[in-house]
Structure 1
Amino acid sequence: MRDLPDNLLDRTEMLLVPGRMLLEDGPATGMAALVRDGRFAEIAPVAELTARHPGLTPVALPDHLMMPGFIDSHTHLTQSLGKSLVFGEPSEIFRRIWVPLEGSLDQRMVYLSSKLAALECLRGGFTCAVDAGTRSAGQLDALTRAAQETGMRSVIGLICNDLGGAADVPPPDRIVARAEAHLERYADDPLVHSSLAISIPEVGSDQMLVRISGMAGKAGAIFQTHVNEHLVAVERSLVANGRRPLEHLAHIGALGPHVLIAHSTLVTPSELNILRDTGTAVAYNPVASVWKGNAIAPALQMAALGIRFGLGTDGTRADGFRLMDAAETLQRAGYGLASGDSSCGGGWLWLDAATRMAADASGLGAVTGRIAPGLAADFLLVDLDRPEFTPSHDLTWELVRYGNRDQIDAVFTQGRLRLWQGWPVDWDARALLAEIRETAAHAIAGAPITRIHPTADKHRVEAIA
């Protein structure tokens, strides 16, 4: 355990000299970063940068890697109170668990759930998370306030369903008015970015899908929706429209570079071409595929075709390192073993997909995701003085396969230290956990949740009997 260095706290200007720095072409030595007013002001060799700024005392971090923070390109911040309820459950859990749970949460529980989720994200090295939109009625302010208080950068989706699938489904004109207000609301917020969302295509009319997607694109925001995730949803779309969900979105003109599609696990070759040709981005959620999905997104094929994608958790577990490991492992198991591909992305692809590629897919490529002049200073200090990184022969691969969140010493967003060795430096996380332990059981009991399988302990008794 290292003590928290005073020279990392509450500084508007810092000259950081890490042992290694993760730049766009890989880990580099002998580099320094000047952080000023929440941004990377300069990135240059140590001697050059210290000579230009003789009045600044360099912060020496010889045992640390300075790397961009991870970007979770798809999550659900208001699902953290019931996260283990879905374990072992069949697909489309949103119908039986998430919609009933989120719809029953009051303002305080939305706040607690969102703050817990944001804390977990930061602990896992995610400096930014893209929330797909809460289905709770009128509680978006509580969600946003919770994320802001933790210091996590967030993309906040406003659900704009007009055919159900949420606790509150107002008339179309009110949906559009709310969407317009949401797009404008955070224009000057340094950490919050607006987004519009329709949960799945079938809970939005064609007119609303096109309208909301177009509004987001015109405003420079992203439009989010879950597409081609479960076999039953694909079949429902075929029955209703004669087209698969992704095909239907393309047919009505709702896709484009501003669109972020969650999952896309069940995609045909022609649908891959649709994604490529429209510039639509994908959130590849490997852990969700293992835990609750029907298939694995063909991320290696997407990369080969030039389809934009980033990694997402889908609210499963918040550990950026384990997410990269899962991303590579599933591609190896699903495609690499059968084709003799022993590289499966070469390590670097998954590191990029968790940082700069995820930022681009999330509409934030010009804001974060890299250590580069002008971008927000959202970064991690990873302790390399660990057995897992000793000896080090290929740090990029080692981060993908040996990295873990307990190796993260510091998490910064907008140039400010938010967490040190897993805990916030400016608010009481223990008090948050205590309140959640006292209140979560009552909130869960009051939600009309339907589970198919018992808990693991009950299952053990039944199996033995």
Structure 2
Amino acid sequence: MTLPSPDLLRADTLLLEPGQLLLPEGPQPDMAVVVAQGRFTCVGPRERVRQQHPQLTPVPLPDRLLMPGLIDAHTHLTQALGKSLAFGEPSEIFRRIWVPMEQSLRPRAAWLSAKLASLEALRGGFTTVVDAGTRSEEGLDQIAQAVREAGIRCVLALTCNDLGHPEGDAAFDTLSRRAAQHLARFEDDPLVHPSVAVSIPEVATDRMLRHLAGLARESGRLFQTHANEHLVAVERSLVARGLRPIELLAECGALNACTLLAHATLLTPSELGLLCEHGAAVAYNPVASQWKGNAVLDALQLHERGVPFALGTDGTRYDGLRLMDAAEATQRIAYGLARGDSSCGGGWMWLDHATHRAAEACGLAQVTGRIAEGLAADFLLLDLDVPEMQPSWDLSWELVRLADRGQIDAVFVQGALRLWRGWPTDWDARALMAEVREVAREDIARAPIQRVHRTADVHRRHAGG
């Protein structure tokens, strides 16, 4: 059966009857939802929902899965203009590529990057992105504007690195004031959720780390930092402070239930114990580990120990369905093969940590992540009537290993139709792409980027390929 027109799906109130509804306990048939004022107002068996809402005309979606929008727990929205510059590069590319590139972005380029990344994320099934902070001085305003225009939910971090700051010792007071203003400014924003961050623990004083983590806990927001991402980062912390990054965070009182650590790949048993003790969460970035990492996080161990974690892209590739596949495959190759574990989470675990458990890890459990009454109507309509999904024996596993973003018919955020078959319904994505191509040439060209490896075509010529 063909889908209804997008105009019908723009109605203020919708009664949707999908072929399957993805709930925390798994896919369920014969269910219906009512969407009104940006939220799910009724979720339940089809006949009961119909009886409770006789004034609404049901919208049948027989071959579609209605599922929660996916959550990208770690990304950098102002890096989208240079994403392929990092291919084939060794670890810690932030020093040679991301920092100089972001610092060179003019306001318009920062806006273009954030809006392009938001479009890519929506096309990949993400209805929420967690931005870890930008090095662009004017980037925050541009990101906030871009995500609102694109219609994606965003956790937006203000970076507060006080070590090496031009203001010296006075930087603590300046950055603390900015952090409080940032949290207050977006307190009631429907799509932008404020957060505070330091890039890595070694670029902030203990006082700043403790203050930001406490500020996040008091306000119910996230404190974000990268930790244990690369071997060099661990060694640098040991040399400078005599402690590994996560040990340093615990020592200065910066680990709590509002702390979100990006990567945390190089975990010792004692550091794992610290995460359990303090309730800190982790963003697991499997594609980043594959492309530029030194190690792979044992996500299954986090799950079994009850450490909150969510899947993140690190800005590598905004495709949520491929991300779940990468997470399971990376876990299996790095750990499952050696242990004889052919399941590595049973499929359902990766779905959970891309949706409702991701929301818990990112401080958004009361906002999004589930198809549940009262939560924001952030969801996808996924086409199941494709050859790759026939016959269907185990839909949860099939979503992890077989589904792709080409099956996403519609993306809704806050109850509004944002994308229809891959393209925005209320703004011109082609015009954005044309401007990206024009502006990126100039802004990227003037950035003092240092690449270690040649581009693929140049490498081919030198390799005699």
What is the TM-score when the length of structure 2 is the normalising length? 0.98
Q: Is the 8 A contact 1:64 1:382 kept in 2?
A: yes
Residues in 2 aligned to 1:87 and 1:422: alpha-carbon distance in whole angstroms: 25
Residues in 2 aligned to 1:34 and 1:316: alpha-carbon distance in whole angstroms: 35
- The unaligned stretches of length 5 or more in structure 2 are none
Residues in 2 aligned to 1:17 and 1:420: alpha-carbon distance in whole angstroms: 18
- In structure 2, the partner of 1:279 is 279
- In structure 1, the partner of 2:344 is 344
- In structure 2, the partner of 1:96 is 96
Shift of 1:139: 2.6
CA change 1:160–1:189 in 2 (3 A) is same
1:156-182 deviations in Å (ceiling 9; x for gaps): 000011124899998221111110110
- In structure 2, the partner of 1:420 is 420
Q: Which amino acid aligns with 2:391?
A: P
Shift of 1:242: 1.2
Shift of 1:95: 0.5
Are residue 384 (structure 1) and residue 376 (structure 2) matched?
Answer: no
- DSSP 3-state at the match of 1:291: helix
Please list, as runs of the form range in 1=range in 2, the aligned pairs for 1:65-214 lying within 5 A after superposition. Answer: 65-164=65-164, 171-214=171-214
Please list, as runs of the form range in 1=range in 2, the aligned pairs for 1:356-371 lying within 5 A after superposition. Answer: 356-371=356-371
Shift of 1:138: 2.7
CA change 1:6–1:90 in 2 (3 A) is closer
Residues in 1 aligned to 2:428 and 2:236: alpha-carbon distance in whole angstroms: 47
Shift of 1:9: 3.6
Q: Is the 8 A contact 1:161 1:169 kept in 2?
A: no
1:244-269 deviations in Å (ceiling 9; x for gaps): 01011111110010000000000101
Q: Which amino acid aligns with 1:378?
A: D
Residues in 1 aligned to 2:427 and 2:144: alpha-carbon distance in whole angstroms: 17
- DSSP 3-state at the match of 1:89: coil
Residues in 2 aligned to 1:440 and 1:274: alpha-carbon distance in whole angstroms: 43
- In structure 2, the partner of 1:354 is 354
Shift of 1:205: 0.8
Residues in 2 aligned to 1:333 and 1:177: alpha-carbon distance in whole angstroms: 46
- DSSP 3-state at the match of 1:144: helix
Residues in 1 aligned to 2:322 and 2:37: alpha-carbon distance in whole angstroms: 32
- DSSP 3-state at the match of 1:342: coil
Residues in 2 aligned to 1:303 and 1:11: alpha-carbon distance in whole angstroms: 40
Percent identical residues: 62
- DSSP 3-state at the match of 2:48: helix
- DSSP 3-state at the match of 1:171: helix
What's the Cα RMSD here?
Answer: 1.6
Shift of 1:372: 0.6
| Greater alpha carbon shift after TM alignment, 120-129 vs 166-175 | 166-175
1:372-395 deviations in Å (ceiling 9; x for gaps): 111100000000110111100000
Residues in 1 aligned to 2:8 and 2:405: alpha-carbon distance in whole angstroms: 20
- DSSP 3-state at the match of 2:254: coil
Residues in 1 aligned to 2:176 and 2:391: alpha-carbon distance in whole angstroms: 56
| Greater alpha carbon shift after TM alignment, 407-416 vs 6-15 | 6-15
Residues in 1 aligned to 2:103 and 2:428: alpha-carbon distance in whole angstroms: 28
Q: Which amino acid aligns with 1:96?
A: R
CA change 1:461–1:108 in 2 (3 A) is same
Are residue 411 (structure 1) and residue 407 (structure 2) matched?
Answer: no
Residues in 2 aligned to 1:265 and 1:168: alpha-carbon distance in whole angstroms: 32
Q: Is the 8 A contact 2:285 2:311 kept in 1?
A: yes
Residues in 2 aligned to 1:166 and 1:224: alpha-carbon distance in whole angstroms: 22
Residues in 2 aligned to 1:204 and 1:19: alpha-carbon distance in whole angstroms: 51
Residues in 1 aligned to 2:216 and 2:442: alpha-carbon distance in whole angstroms: 37
4+ runs of 1 displaced by more than 6 Å? 165-170
Q: Is the 8 A contact 1:201 1:209 kept in 2?
A: yes
Q: Is the 8 A contact 2:6 2:420 kept in 1?
A: no
Q: Is the 8 A contact 1:410 1:418 kept in 2?
A: yes
Are residue 289 (structure 1) and residue 289 (structure 2) matched?
Answer: yes
Are residue 442 (structure 1) and residue 416 (structure 2) matched?
Answer: no
Q: Which amino acid aligns with 1:243?
A: L
CA change 1:178–1:142 in 2 (3 A) is same
Q: Is the 8 A contact 2:24 2:370 kept in 1?
A: yes
1:319-378 deviations in Å (ceiling 9; x for gaps): 011000000001100111001011100000001111111111111011100001111000
Shift of 1:7: 5.3
Please list, as runs of the form range in 1=range in 2, the aligned pairs for 1:23-42 lying within 5 A after superposition. Answer: 23-42=23-42
Q: Is the 8 A contact 2:125 2:405 kept in 1?
A: yes
- DSSP 3-state at the match of 1:256: coil
- DSSP 3-state at the match of 1:96: helix
Q: Which amino acid aligns with 2:131?
A: D
1:424-449 deviations in Å (ceiling 9; x for gaps): 00000000000011111111111000
How many residue pairs match? The answer is 465
What is the TM-score when the length of structure 1 is the normalising length? 0.98
CA change 1:4–1:431 in 2 (3 A) is farther
Shift of 1:240: 1.3
CA change 1:165–1:390 in 2 (3 A) is farther
Residues in 1 aligned to 2:168 and 2:429: alpha-carbon distance in whole angstroms: 31
Q: Which amino acid aligns with 2:432?
A: L
Are residue 242 (structure 1) and residue 236 (structure 2) matched?
Answer: no
CA change 1:49–1:68 in 2 (3 A) is same
Q: Is the 8 A contact 2:165 2:171 kept in 1?
A: no
- DSSP 3-state at the match of 2:113: helix
Are residue 20 (structure 1) and residue 28 (structure 2) matched?
Answer: no
